[in-house]
Amino acid sequence: MIEINRFTLPNGLRTVHNQDSATAMVALNILYNVGSRDENPQSTGMAHLFEHLMFGGSKNVPEFDKALEEAGGTNNAWTNCDFTNFYDIVPAHNVETAFWLESDRMNALAFSKRSLEVQRQVVCEEFKQVCLNQPYGDLFHHLYALAYKVHPYRYPVIGKELSHIEKVTIDDVKSFFYRHYAPNNAVLAVTGNISFDETRRLAEKWFGDIPMRVIPPRDYAMEPLQTAPRRQQISGRVPQTVIYKAYHMPGYAGNSYPACDVITDLLSAGQSSRFYQRLLMDTDMFTRVDASVTGTEDPGLLLLSAHLRENVPVEEAERAITKGARSLINEPPTDYELQRALNRFESNHTFGCMNYVNLASVLAQSEMRGQDINNIVPRQRTVTPQIISETAAAILVPDNSSTLIYTPE
């Protein structure tokens, strides 16, 4: 049981805390309820660009990294479809520096044209390196556009195309900041060697005077039900043929989300998984097979993927992947097989939360979702063999599938 303390400031900033006296450090994690799904379709990649811009200086802090490093700290950030996350790790005796730095950039970013140009160049080079200059770099651009026709998940977090990033103006930056970066649109998670009273005192001191902002409601359309199979074949400078199959599934809060998550573990987690035993060991068709979920807040995707050996017919390989996944319908997991998958999940979650830095991130996401972190494992353990079979039968159907074949030129 993880002991959690929480409070909410008058300006709407939700704060969660866990004390760990075994470390001399403190983690400060701020999760903003903004991701790529909140972007203008003509300006994709903005959320990710903004993650970089948040390190370009604020009203009283011209160099964020320098100020934190002088306090003996380090930091990083990430952006996904739904959230943008920033975290700082500092010695406990210098923790107030982190509160000051994070509050200053939440309150008033510098909006420097120089910073915009520097970070724009960084992100553009990242786009070229990740999406244009490495094998399969544009795979998810094609896959998401195939699976989603309406929802903004159809665009990758890094952006649909370079031109969207290149044309961002300083006015675009200001507008995005004031629409999404606010105490009433964020969760602050504090873990490590700091008391709850000190956390409250510092949060009130540094974040308490930041004004609430009007956060516009999300107004994008939800993805309609897919009623027919979708298929696309592309080619590029890649070493081998890859097959990806995407099936629509519920979002994180959906009742069958845990079952979909467990399905992917049963299929591909470890050498005892069905894909490993039945596709890698019992056939000579594949060099790699995998299954995963996108884990999004809105309805997401259950993904099956396979790297084919040379001269393996695509149709034969695709039939093998589909058959392997759908085996869970008529051949539900044994109690032993299911418990192994559930134990793996619990072990990964438990060990992850033993690290105060990881715990801060999980606490922030749980609070943002209105979920008790101590209910994550029990929720997963409600899954039964029958639920696995029924969920696989509902999800893994042709009319719900989008298949992308990526072949060498």
Report pTM. 0.95
Instruction: List the pLDDT tens digit at each of the 409 positions of the chain.
Output: 999 999 999 999 999 999 999 999 999 999 999 999 999 999 999 999 999 999 988 989 988 899 999 999 999 999 999 999 999 999 999 999 999 999 999 999 988 888 999 999 999 999 999 999 999 999 999 999 999 999 999 999 999 999 999 999 999 999 999 999 999 999 999 999 999 999 999 999 999 999 999 999 999 999 999 999 999 999 999 999 999 999 999 999 999 999 999 999 999 999 999 999 999 999 999 999 999 999 999 999 999 999 999 999 999 999 999 999 999 999 999 999 999 999 999 999 999 999 999 999 999 999 999 999 999 999 999 999 999 999 999 999 999 999 999 999 9
Q: What are the boundaries of each domain within the chain?
A: 5-207, 230-408
Q: Which residues contact 370 (CB under 8 A, 6 or more apart)?
A: none
CATH superfamily of 230-408: Metalloenzyme, LuxS/M16 peptidase-like (3.30.830.10)
Residue 32, CB-side half-sphere exposure with 13 Å CA sphere: 31
Tokens encoding 264: 């992917």
CB 293 within 8 A of CB 261: yes
304 φ/ψ angles, rounded to the nearest 5 degrees: -115, 135
Give SS3 for 65.
helix
Same fold, 5-207 and 230-408: yes
Alpha helices in 311-384 (DSSP H): 314-330, 335-353, 356-369, 376-380
**CA–CA gap between residue 4 and residue 375 (Å, rounded):** 13
At residue 112, the pLDDT reads 86
Give me the CATH topology for the region 5-207.
Answer: Cytochrome Bc1 Complex; Chain A, domain 1 (3.30.830)
120 φ/ψ angles, rounded to the nearest 5 degrees: -60, -45
Longest dimension (CA), the chain: 65
**CA–CA gap between residue 366 and residue 143 (Å, rounded):** 29
CB 36 within 8 A of CB 155: yes
Is the torsion defined by CA of 270, 232, 301, 42 positive or negative?
Answer: positive
What angle separates helix 356-369 from helix 335-353, to the nearest 10 degrees? Answer: 110
Q: Which residues contact 351 (CB under 8 A, 6 or more apart)?
A: none
